[in-house]
Chains A and B, each alone.
Chain A
Amino acid sequence: MSEFDCLDPVRKALLDDLDEGFAELYGAYRGLVFSAALRLSGRWADAEDLTAEAFLRAYRALAGYERRRIAELQPRAWLMTILMNIWRNCARAKSRKPPPDLREEPVDDVDPGEDVEDAAVRRETGQELAELLSLLPEEQRAAVVLRHVVDLPVSEIATVLKIPQGTVKSHVSRGLKRLRTLGGAR
């Protein structure tokens, strides 16, 4: 029995072997990180870039961590924090450039490799809502995506966004309200 036997499989694997552990980490959280990246950025290509960058940074950070720090890691909140930092930096860098014309740059959230028919079905159901999400102010969009797209608990979102739980809740409810208004206006 080792002192780390009670850990979840991801952290156990990371402690055993960094590279095999990384494969576990990626397998467990790739959908979560990618979904958040896709709905925050609104673009498939940006979501791939953000996800790749987040996991690469995570690996490089893990390579420098002590065993104790890995054992105490909350992988999900930690990964989402890395993603949010990258996304904010990207958004900041983009905001220094002239803003894109939304009419010319529709939200492109379709996997270029996806079957045309699948894409059409998903487009009908999700496309409009995804576009509305991209109209929310950043902090509301972040709170709504983390709470309702990737289903993180409010306490974890507070950790990730480094804001009080009450503020998370108000961002979420304002974001949802705005989505309903925007949806009704269409």
Chain B
Amino acid sequence: MTQDPLLTGLAALAAEPPEALLDRIAARWVRVPAPIGELAVAFTDHGVAYVHAGEGFAEAYRKRFGRPLLPAARPPAGLLPALRTGRTAGLPLDLRGMSDFQRDVLEAARTIPRGEVRPYSWIAARVGRPRAVRAVGTALGRNPVPLLVPCHRVTRSDGAVGDYVFGAAAKERLLLAEGVDLDRVRALADERVFYLASDTTGVVCFPTCHNARRITPVHRHGFRSLAQARAAGYRPCRTCRPAQDVAV
């Protein structure tokens, strides 16, 4: 019996999907060492999507993202150095599924350098919603990629470190390990000093800005508000950007 060429032709139209298609569907996961102990990290073809400490990683990921999670042979390029150094700028992140506001908040937090902290109100001003300080706190509390978006560097203006996805104690440990002088930040806050200015440069900064840390005691002046510092003739620092209306 000869085969019907039409049926043979149709059967030959079957095709295999490209290898990479699975990575559009499923995320991969690895365990990696971090400054606060071992972490589980999930990543997709877009970047790192989820960082989790402790039990219940797979269930938490499934509940939040609804995407299959398969083991990875190795961590994504750049993850281990980013966790080790706290410098995460180049690492691709997968922030799909977040609102524009959440993404803006995380992108703003990502600009805070290691060893420095910023108040929640600074993030709110940065994303153009100066009154949404509480919403900023909520968005940071839902940060899916702690450490990689360093939400631990956003602290309360009264000198307390504030809440953290992995707990306030972990936040304090991380900041100390990154070289933030929390005692000094608290001492300044107790004196109602939230900005430091230098009378040699005429610049006013957040206390943990690397420019502020260089000011010698005789030239250092503390301020409660930016308006007071400006009234005294100081201009906001272009590095730590205490004011949003200053061009970089």
Q: Does B97 contact A (CB under 8 A)?
A: no
Q: Does A70 contact B (CB under 8 A)?
A: no
Q: Does A86 contact B (CB under 8 A)?
A: no
> Could you tell me the dominant secondary structure of chain A's interface residues?
helix
Question: How many A-B contacts if CB must be within 8 Å?
Answer: 87
**In the complex, what's the smallest C-beta–C-beta distance from B32 to chain A, in angstroms?**
19
Q: Are B10 and A113 in contact (CB under 8 A)?
A: no
Q: Nearest chain-A residue to B58 (Cβ)?
A: A19
Q: Does B246 contact A (CB under 8 A)?
A: no
Instruction: Kindly supply a per-residue 1/0 record for chain B positions 10-23, scoring 1 wherever the CB is within 8 Å of any chain A CB and 0 otherwise.
Output: 11111111100110
Hey, which chain A residues are within 8 Å of B24, CB to CB? 48, 52
Q: Are A63 and B66 in contact (CB under 8 A)?
A: yes
Q: Does A120 contact B (CB under 8 A)?
A: no
Size of A's binding interface in residues, CB under 8 A: 38
Instruction: Kindly supply a per-residue 1/0 record for chain A positions 97-132, scoring 1 wherever the CB is within 8 Å of any chain B CB and 0 otherwise.
Output: 000000000000101010000000000011001100
Q: Are B12 and A59 in contact (CB under 8 A)?
A: no
**In the complex, what's the smallest C-beta–C-beta distance from B208 to chain A, in angstroms?**
42
Q: Nearest chain-B residue to A49 (Cβ)?
A: B24
Q: Does B9 contact A (CB under 8 A)?
A: yes
Hey, which chain B residues are within 8 Å of A52, CB to CB? 21, 24-25
User: CA of A34 to CA of B18 in the docked complex: distance in angstroms?
Assistant: 10
Q: Are A26 and B12 in contact (CB under 8 A)?
A: no
Hey, which chain B residues are within 8 Å of A23, CB to CB? 26, 68, 70
Q: Are B9 and A125 in contact (CB under 8 A)?
A: yes
Known contacts: A31-B15, A52-B25, A111-B18. The answer to whether A18 contacts B62 by CB under 8 A is yes
User: CA of A32 to CA of B58 in the docked complex: distance in angstroms?
Assistant: 28
Taking each of B7, B11, B21, B69, which has the highest tally of chain A beta carbons within 10 Å of its own beta carbon?
A: B21
Hey, which chain B residues are within 8 Å of A150, CB to CB? 14
Q: Does A151 contact B (CB under 8 A)?
A: yes
Known contacts: A23-B70, A48-B18, A180-B6. The answer to whether A56 contacts B12 by CB under 8 A is no
Known contacts: A26-B22, A56-B67, A113-B18. The answer to whether A129 contacts B58 by CB under 8 A is no
User: CA of A126 to CA of B8 in the docked complex: distance in angstroms?
Assistant: 10
Q: Nearest chain-B residue to A54 (Cβ)?
A: B25
Q: Does A55 contact B (CB under 8 A)?
A: yes
Q: Does A39 contact B (CB under 8 A)?
A: yes
Q: Are A63 and B62 in contact (CB under 8 A)?
A: yes
Q: Are B15 and A148 in contact (CB under 8 A)?
A: no
**In the complex, what's the smallest C-beta–C-beta distance from A71 to chain B, in angstroms?**
20
Q: Are B21 and A130 in contact (CB under 8 A)?
A: no
Q: Does A179 contact B (CB under 8 A)?
A: yes
**In the complex, what's the smallest C-beta–C-beta distance from B27 to chain A, in angstroms?**
10
Taking each of A59, A144, A183, which has the highest tally of chain B beta carbons within 10 Å of its own beta carbon?
A: A59
Q: Does A68 contact B (CB under 8 A)?
A: no
A interface, CB within 8 angstroms of B: 18-19, 22-23, 26, 30-32, 34-35, 38-39, 47-48, 51-52, 55-56, 59-60, 63, 109, 111, 113, 125-126, 129-130, 133, 144, 148-151, 176, 179-180, 183
